[in-house]
């Protein structure tokens, strides 16, 4: 029987790719990462033209932990012989297609990655090892790193309606039917919805829909809050302070910060507004695009042709209905316990919402041996704050996991000093009650 791995990674998206890149120089760790896809791909269904990251390119896979790494974005630019032109281009934000190409470039160099390998199940054996069942056979490992990502969220009101003409935004470029001459309804007022609407508004005449309706629950199509002090939420020091809070406080704080991570970029909003100005005032197409903020969708049903969506208007309380031939649900994603962990479910510590309870080193709390850990990425916003599903801290988080895995400090993850003081300087004495 082959020797067990020190770490088996399940899923090869940006987060486990970052972990694999930081583990690559470490000779005494035997690691392997598995993914069911044939090759690395990052949101291929939303790789729309001219879309940009909402994160600095300096927050790449490795630089925050090891700026000398051969897997940095700068190393990629040098290898592709376009560093000087990249500098001269003066991009205010990096194109998403280039960052995807960078990550695929890194994936192509890492020998620890195994594609076309689907993990069917994971169990924990009497030999104190995790047993993974893959398409190609069994694998044993001392530790796991789970990063298979969230799943597309379909609201209850759209249950059972998914099909060729009703699809989630994550499949937009992969599955969208021809739209020429058809009315398109986009539901969701975040960045994905905005990018799809902008793409539709700028289609060539031969491919353009006959009309567009855009729905958002928010009172308006709101910009992302990316002010410098807001960006403190995406710093290691903030995460470390956030970890000290009780769960009920964390939930309220994360909810209050929604637009710090889920708003629309200013450049996208400006481009949308300018294109709408052209349509209405220069082309006279006043009824081509209808924008409906502050609407709560309550039901989607098939009409005589296409679909009919019922809405509750949060502005005046009215009930409305809109019709469309094609519906795109830009309704986000949700974290679910992967089915391959069903064999361990009874041993995992989950909260009331069936989410992992996490340790400070990004390991899942479970009833197994302390030296057998299940590291999990992009599933701990309730524990670590709004930065958890974002690219901003992925290298820092990967470095934290590497240090925990090897039991020594290989990467310096300490010493981040926030410009803001988050915790109380002089907490009240035990038993103190605030008079109301």
Q: The tokens of 186 are what? A: 């986009």
Query: How much is the pTM?
Result: 0.95
Query: Could you give the CA distance from residue 388 to residue 335 in angstroms, rounded to a whole number?
Result: 12
Strands, DSSP E only, in 128-237?
A: 130-134, 137-141, 144-146, 151-152, 166-168, 183-187, 211-215
pLDDT for residue 416: 84
Task: Kindly tell me if the per-residue pLDDT of 197 is higher than 60.
Answer: yes
Nearest CA among 19, 71, 8 for reference residue 395: 19
Task: Kindly tell me if the per-residue pLDDT of 436 is higher than 60.
Answer: no
Task: Kindly tell me if the per-residue pLDDT of 173 is higher than 60.
Answer: yes
Characterize 3-30 residue by residue with b for buried, 16 or more Cβ atoms within 10 angstroms of its Cβ, and e for exposed.
ebbbbbbbbbbbbbbbbbbbbbeeeebb
Question: What CATH number does the domain located at 152-220+282-329 have?
Answer: 3.50.50.60
pLDDT for residue 117: 97
The rounded mean pLDDT for the chain is 95
Q: What share of the chain is helix, strand, coil (3-state, %, to 5)?
A: 30, 20, 50
Q: Which 3 state secondary structure label does DSSP give 138?
A: strand
pLDDT tens for each residue of 207-225 = 999 999 999 999 999 999 9
* DSSP state string for 196-223: HHHHHHT--TTT--SEEEEE-SSSS-PB
Nearest CA among 37, 9, 4, 6 for reference residue 21: 9
Task: Kindly tell me if the per-residue pLDDT of 42 is higher than 80.
Answer: yes
Residues of the chain with CATH 3.50.50.60: 7-150+335-406, 152-220+282-329
434 pLDDT band (50/70/90 cuts)?
A: low
75 pLDDT band (50/70/90 cuts)?
A: very high
Task: Give yes or no for a contact between 238 and 232, defined as CB atoms under 8 angstroms apart.
Answer: yes
Which residues share a beta bridge with 324? 307
pLDDT tens for each residue of 92-127 = 889 999 999 999 999 999 999 999 999 999 999 999
Confirm or reject CATH 3.20.20.70 for domain 7-150+335-406, answering yes or no.
no
Nearest CA among 402, 408, 348, 359 for reference residue 383: 359
Query: Could you give the CA distance from residue 156 to residue 300 in angstroms, rounded to a whole number?
Result: 10
Q: Give the number of residues written for the chain.
A: 436
Query: Could you give the CA distance from residue 262 to residue 283 in angstroms, rounded to a whole number?
Result: 32
180 pLDDT band (50/70/90 cuts)?
A: very high
Task: Kindly tell me if the per-residue pLDDT of 206 is higher than 80.
Answer: yes
Task: Give yes or no for a contact between 372 and 142, defined as CB atoms under 8 angstroms apart.
Answer: yes
Task: Kindly tell me if the per-residue pLDDT of 378 is higher than 70.
Answer: yes
């Amino acid at each position: 029987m082959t020797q067990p791995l020190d770490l088996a990674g399940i899923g090869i998206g940006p987060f486990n790719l970052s972990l694999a890149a930081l583990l690559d120089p470490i000779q005494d760790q035997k690691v392997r990462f598995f993914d069911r896809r044939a090759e690395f791909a990052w949101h291929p269904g939303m790789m729309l033209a001219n879309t940009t990251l909402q994160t600095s390119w300096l927050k790449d896979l490795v630089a925050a932990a090891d700026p000398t790494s051969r897997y940095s974005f700068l190393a990629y630019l040098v290898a592709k012989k376009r560093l000087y032109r990249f500098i001269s281009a003066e991009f205010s934000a990096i194109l998403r297609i280039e960052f995807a190409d960078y990550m695929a470039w890194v994936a192509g160099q890492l020998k620890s990655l195994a594609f076309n390998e689907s993990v069917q199940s994971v169990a924990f054996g009497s030999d104190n090892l995790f047993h993974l069942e893959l398409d190609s056979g069994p694998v044993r490992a001392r530790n796991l790193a789970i990063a298979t990502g969230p799943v597309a969220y379909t609201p209850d009101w759209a249950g059972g309606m998914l099909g060729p003409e009703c699809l989630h935004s994550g499949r937009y470029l992969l599955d969208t039917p021809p739209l020429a001459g058809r009315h398109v309804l986009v539901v969701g007022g975040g960045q994905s919805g905005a990018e799809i609407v902008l793409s539709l508004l700028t289609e060539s005449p031969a491919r353009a829909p006959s009309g567009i309706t855009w729905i958002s629950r928010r009172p308006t199509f709101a910009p992302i809050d990316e002010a410098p002090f807001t960006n403190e939420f995406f710093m290691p020091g903030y995460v470390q302070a956030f970890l000290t809070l009780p769960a009920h406080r964390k939930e309220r704080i994360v909810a209050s910060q929604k637009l710090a991570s889920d708003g629309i970029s200013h450049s996208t909003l400006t481009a949308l507004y300018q294109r709408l100005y052209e349509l209405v005032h220069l082309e006279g197409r006043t009824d081509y695009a209808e924008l409906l903020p502050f609407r709560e969708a309550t039901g989607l049903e098939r009409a005589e042709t296409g679909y009919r969506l019922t809405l509750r208007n949060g502005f005046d309380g009215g009930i409305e209905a809109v019709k469309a031939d094609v519906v795109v649900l830009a309704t986000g994603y949700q974290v679910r316990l992967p089915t391959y962990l069903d064999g361990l479910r009874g041993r995992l510590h989950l909260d009331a919402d069936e989410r992992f309870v996490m340790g400070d080193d990004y390991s899942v709390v479970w009833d197994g041996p302390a030296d057998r850990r299940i590291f999990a990425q992009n599933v701990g916003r309730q524990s670590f704050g709004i930065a958890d599903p974002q690219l901003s801290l992925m290298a820092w988080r990967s470095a934290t996991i590497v240090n925990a895995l090897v039991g020594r400090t290989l990467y310096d993850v300490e010493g981040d000093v926030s410009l803001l003081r988050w915790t109380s300087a002089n907490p009240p004495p035990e038993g103190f009650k605030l008079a109301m």
